[in-house]
């Protein structure tokens, strides 16, 4: 596989469920990101990992929990979500965290919370 992959592509879950989104990059990059894209809103950065070190984003609710076990994999653990969390969740990676480094995105996971 090449580029950035995300699984699952679609997910429907109830508010009491626990699920995880997975992202894998095959580009040899050192930085990975989670974004949320809601309808009619600009993309919102959720989390950044650089060399497996997390950069906190204080505005993200604790029901979203990221995990980066190595530089190729990134997870987003979900629990007790709300219907307003329904969105497209995009993972991205870049060579490094520098402002000149292009971010390459995966195809996204479309999440619906019932």
Partner 1 sequence: AQKITQTQPGMFVQEKEAVTLDCTYDTSDQSYGLFWYKQPSSGEMIFLIYQGSYDEQNATEGRYSLNFQKARKSANLVISASQLGDSAMYFCAMREPFSGNTPLVFGKGTRLSVIA
Instruction: Summarize as ranges the residues that interact with partner 1 (CB under 8 A).
Output: 31, 33, 40-43, 45, 48, 50, 55, 88, 90, 92, 97-100, 102-108, 110
**Identity of the residue, 10 or 69, whose beta carbon is nearer to partner 1 in the bound complex:** 10
**Identity of the residue, 10 or 16, whose beta carbon is nearer to partner 1 in the bound complex:** 10
SS3 content of the chain, % helix, strand, coil (to 5): 5, 55, 45
Q: How far is the CB of 52 from partner 1 (least distance, A)?
A: 13
Q: How far is the CB of 27 from partner 1 (least distance, A)?
A: 12
**Identity of the residue, 31 or 78, whose beta carbon is nearer to partner 1 in the bound complex:** 31
Q: How far is the CB of 94 from partner 1 (least distance, A)?
A: 9
Q: What angle do CA 16, 79, 14 make, to 5 degrees?
A: 35
Q: How far is the CB of 16 from partner 1 (least distance, A)?
A: 26
**Identity of the residue, 75 or 105, whose beta carbon is nearer to partner 1 in the bound complex:** 105
């Amino acid at each position: 596989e090449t580029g950035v992959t995300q699984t699952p592509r679609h997910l429907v879950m109830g508010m009491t469920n626990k699920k995880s989104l997975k992202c894998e990059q095959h580009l040899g990059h050192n930085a990975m990101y989670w974004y949320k894209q809601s309808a009619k809103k600009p993309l919102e950065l959720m989390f950044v990992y650089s060399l497996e070190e997390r950069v906190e984003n204080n505005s993200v609710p604790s029901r979203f929990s990221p995990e980066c076990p190595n530089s190729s994999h990134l997870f987003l653990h979900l629990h007790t979500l709300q219907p307003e969390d329904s969105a497209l969740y995009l993972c991205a990676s870049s060579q490094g965290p520098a402002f000149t480094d292009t971010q390459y995105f995966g195809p996204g996971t479309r999440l619906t919370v019932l």
